[in-house]
Structures are given as C-alpha cells and as structure tokens.
Structure 1
Amino acid sequence: MKYKIAVFAGDGVGPELIDEGIKVIEKAAELDKFEIEWVKYPHGAEHFSETKESLSNKALKEIKDSCKSVYCGTFDNSKNGNAAENNVSSAIKNYFDQFVSLRPIRLLPNVQSPLNGKTDKEIDFTVIRENTEDFYSGINGRVKNGKNKHQFDLNNSTLKAKFGLNVEAKGGEMAYQIGVLSKKGCERVIKFAFEYAKSKNKKKIAAVDKANMIECYDFWRENVNKVSKGYGDIKCEFEFIDAAVMNFIRQPEKYEVIIAPNMFGDILGDLGTVMQGSLAVAARGNINPGGISMFEPVHGSAPGLKEKGVVNPIATIWAGAMMLDNIGQQKSADLMIKSIEYVLKGGKTMTLDLGGNNSTSEMGDAIKDKFIELHD
C-alpha cells in the first residue's frame, strides 16, 4: 500500500520537528511494508512574509485530488497581524471540512502532571470536539445606541441560513455572539465519537454541555440520545461543563471518551493538555472521516528556539502516529506511541523541557530505535 501525504513543515521549529516525525514514520513504513510519498508545501507565515504567497485553493485542490492526509509542523499565526492568509492550518481545516477535533489526553511516563499524585494510569482519555459550529459560527457584532441592522449568511456543509437582526439599543454600546447548532453538525460528530469509542474498545462516553443554562444544548442532548441508541454496548452520560472541569482535576480516571460542542470542547482540550504536563507532548487531529484529515502538534512555532535543536519532537511524532492510525496503519501507530512511552520510561533520553539535555534529533533517534527494537 502506498500513501501520498501532504507535508507543511511550517514556521519556527516546525521543519526540524517534522523531520523527526518523518524519520520515525519512514522506519515504520519500511518494517510494516507500506510506502509513504511526501508532497512538501512551503506555506506558512515565514513563507508569506518572504514571498506574499498564501495557500491557494489550487494547492488545496491538488491535495484533495492526490493525497490521503496532511501532516503539519508548527505555524506562527502572530505574523502580519494574524492575517487569514497566514493561518495555514485553519485554511486546511475549513477547505476539507474537518469537523472533528481529536485530542488524546495521556500522561506519559516521567512527565510530571500538575495534578499531584496522578499517574499515567489515571490520565488517559480522548476529547472529541465539534469543530465548525456552536459559538464559533461567526455570528457576532456590536451595536450602538439607536437602531442597528445586522445580517449574516451561513453557508457550509451542514446548513444554509440567513440571520437578520434588528436591534434598538439604549444605554450604551453592546456586543453579542450567537451560537448555532445544526442537526447534521451534531449528528455527524456524535456518531464519530461513538464509532471512535467502538474502534478503541472504550465503554464510556461523557457528553458535555450546559443545557441547564443555555437552551440550544437541549438540541445537542436530543441528538446525543438519538445517536446513542445505536450503540447499546457504550454507556453515555451527560455532564455539565462546570462539573466536567472539576472532575478533570479531581478524578480524570473516570473518563474514556468525551464529546462536546465547539466552545466547551476547546476549553476541555486545552485543560487536558495542561494535565499532560507539557505542551511538547500534546498532539491533535482535525478529522473528516470520509475525506482528508490533518495532524499536528498542539504547541506553537517557538521562533526563538529555531534551529537550536533543543525542542522536544514527541508531539509531532505522536501526531504522525495519529495520522497512521487514521489511514489504516494501526499497528505502526500503536507501536510508535508505545515506543515513545518506553523511551520516556527509560529516562535515558530526555529533552530540555523534561529535565534532560538531549537534542531534538537524539529524541527522534531514540524513538526510532525503540520502534525497531519492539517490532515483531
């Protein structure tokens, strides 16, 4: 089997991290008898600053027509005023309708969590976030005293709707944000969560919302209940966002899979990353189950550390393992993560952020070598 993968090394430390991910993936491909063809793209904030070339629809269509997945390094979205043309990962996510954010939250050996006394046996779950709707739908604005008329058009893969707001305000300027949930948008991400739990042999899903205060989440609950009926072997419980945040701290071991609307999933995913003890080990996937997905580290581009060879590549390697799992190479993916765990448990190879002095490439080599050692 041969897979063509689009690669965006990105900005800052991204290129050196993606090199380590590719190194481990290519060894996995060699040993597990599949092929990877890397199609490299230069786009990112640094490339835009130098060339004024943004990621075009032509390039995205090329990826759609020829590639199986997208593998990314890091991007500096602070350059040029955070202009949309620099935000490569957002452009990819939107173009390919990657409506699922997949965040594995796992405390790795010899990584210290801020949760005192918690071990790698107690922090191991996945946050699945709806990635396109809710309060991030773009219906927002400000109104001043007097009559204000605002119109919004939503036109995406889940809904087409026009919103007209006539606001007569007194007493000063106001701001508003409107959350939107569609039946299709809810159903598809909830179904993904149950299918994911089934594929990973997980027996519990926590569905998070704030239905006691925000009425549109009753609609979310209706869709969770409807989808859950098709998965009798998986227990589904509802939990309010405030309770979920408290339980993340008090008893994270209770969770296996969490499904949440966009805003609450965003919060829980970032909180989970802190529980892992280091941004340097946190990876994510932006998923379209029937299309092209994207995998990347959670952390930023760290421009001050560029080409110093000191940044931990584990998040990028883990993102690569998630990519392999997504394209059907689960054996390689599982062994890559197992190799990361064994290297950290051994404690001989540790980068600066983990209290060691090994380089980026030395950590990549250690994980690659452990993969070879553990392979059948």
Structure 2
Amino acid sequence: MSTLGETTLGGSCHCGALTYTATTSSPTFTGYCHCTKCQRLTGGPLVATIHFPPNSVTFSAVPVAALHTYRPASCPHETRYRCNVCGVGVGSVNAMEGHTAVWGATLTRIAVAGEDSAGKIAMWEKISPVLHFYYGVRVLDVRDGLRKYRESAPEEAGKPGSWNLQGGDMEETDGGEGRSENGGDSDVIHGGCFCGEVRYTFSPSSIKRSAYCHCTQCQKLSGCPFIHTIHLFSSAVSFTLAPSGDSKTEKSTILASDIDANALPSSFRTYNSPVKSHKTRLRCATCGTCVASSNSQTGTTSVWGVHLTRSQSEHISHWDKVKPTAHIFYDTHLLEIKDGLSKWSGYEGSSKRLDL
C-alpha cells in the first residue's frame, strides 16, 4: 500500500450536494470489488473501493436533505451513502468491519490541459486498487496483472495469508460469457433495482447498442470505472412499480416513453445533469439504485447490464442477446481492459478506434 503522507482526499456526488473528506496518512485497503451487491447498487461491473479507518471520513450534505442512506437487508451493518438530488452513491460505512469506504470514481478531479474537461482523479497513481476481490462473480475478465480473489481478499478482511486466489491473468479463462447464461428462448428480458420495488422488461429486438462505457459522466454518475450500457427504444421499455407505503393498490406499469417528470410515480426519483439536460436518470426511491436513463432527443432509454435478472448462480440471463460489442469513450478509461473487444474514442463505428 502506498503511503500518501499527511494528505486530505475528498470527493463528491455528481451535482456536488453530497461531499466527503478523508484525512489520513494512508488508506487501509484499495481494491476492485466485483460482488453482486456493489454491481447492482452502483450499476457498474466493478467498483474501485478505497477503505479508511473509522472516523477519518466526514460526509457533508447541503442541504441536509441531500443525504440518502440505505442499509441492504443482506448486509444490515453497512450503511450506503448516496446523494438524494443526483442519486450518486459515494461510499459506505461498515460498522462490523470498522471502516469507511469511498468509491474511487467519485474522488476530486484536477484539470489537465488538452485532456478531458472532467480532469484526472487526484493522486490516482498512489491510491488506485492493488487487487480484485469477489472475482468469482465477475461480469468480465480483467487482465491487468493484479491479484484476483474469488471472495474477500486477506487485506480487505483484515486477516493474514491468502485464500480463494483466482490466479494470474493467464489463468483467467472462465469469465465474461462464462459468468452468464443464455436464459432460454424468451422474447422478454427482465431487470430492476436492488430492492425490487422498480422492475422493467424489454424485448431483445429493441436493443440499439450494447457497450462498456468509460466516459467521465458515466464514471461520476455511477462511482465506477465504467458501466455496461444497453440502449433501447423507449417505447419498448416497460416499468413495473411497487405500490407506495401501505397502499393496497396493485403494482402499476408504465412505458419509459410515457414517463412524465412532472407527474412522476412515487417509486421514482429523477435527475437531469446540467451537462446533458435532455437525459433523465430514473432511480428507485427506496434503495436509490439508478435503473435507467431516458434520452428525449433520441427517444431511447439506457439500462445497465448488471441489473438484469440472474440465475441462482448469479449469472446474467440472456447474455448472448445483451452482451457488449465494444468499449466506448475509452480515452478516459480508469482501468485497462484486455478482452478482445474493440475500443473507441466515442461511439462504436463513428469515432476513432484506439486499439488498432
């Protein structure tokens, strides 16, 4: 682990209403987490998680109502911190393991002349993850030379030795499609938020694009190095919403193309980025999971691959129909991916190819 010296690290959500500051001489752990809980709560295939000692991270929300907290039923000792305005999760506090974690992609960025306007993450070279854990349920192989652990890593668990070691890059042969299933011949694909209150369906024939997106907007909106985005015709995406509170009403169904931000169902919260106001992000009001982004200019809606229905073995169903065909906006990647897919500076086929 690299020692940072007496350094103050900070970060924020996308809109800036929720910020955090960590003052410490060194993080206690840095790693890429592939667990399905992190995948489904953030929308990314993996999260760069940076752990700090107890009481060394301060979260601040202005206004106070901008702070949204959520405790997963499967992990009641963990409190997830998310902005109640833009919906971006920035970190968590684990009472049982005694640490506070923040997501690497939400750290403060510094401007670099001639490069992406969002800038580079401050001191990323010193605090970037040193291993991968919960790699046994990964969505894709990452051949980067770092250690891989099927479950928790020794450093993350605070125990000596090594166990569940996946092996080096040359041994990673059962990822990607090996982590997925065809899902039969169904013409309908299902997905939804973490807690299950917001669900959706779409037809494979409505898919316009499926890719891993590395743009800085996706990084900052998810807290992850990249996301698996699936672009669909909005008229083909149908949401099913659980009744609010103690309501005895039946679940309601609404097409993405019919959602009106001025008359929003109570199960939804929305956010429009000032940078791209024509895009409306939809998230669950309970768990905070962002499940989709609707584009009013193109009439399309994007969903994230990690939110799709999975088998009992946690494999994504219908992978053959939804799997990514390329990496897009790869100029600003935080993590190098070597998986044989083409890499583009913008959208696939209409921008500069970077891997030739």
- Report the TM-score range of the alignment, normalised by the length of the smaller protein: under 0.3
Q: Which of the two has greater helix per residue?
A: 1
Higher relative contact order, structure no. (Cα contacts within 8 Å, ≥ 6 residues apart): 1
Q: TM-score, normalised by structure 2?
A: 0.25
In our comparison, the structure showing a higher alpha carbon Rg is 1
Q: Which of the two has greater strand per residue?
A: 2
Q: TM-score, normalised by structure 1?
A: 0.24
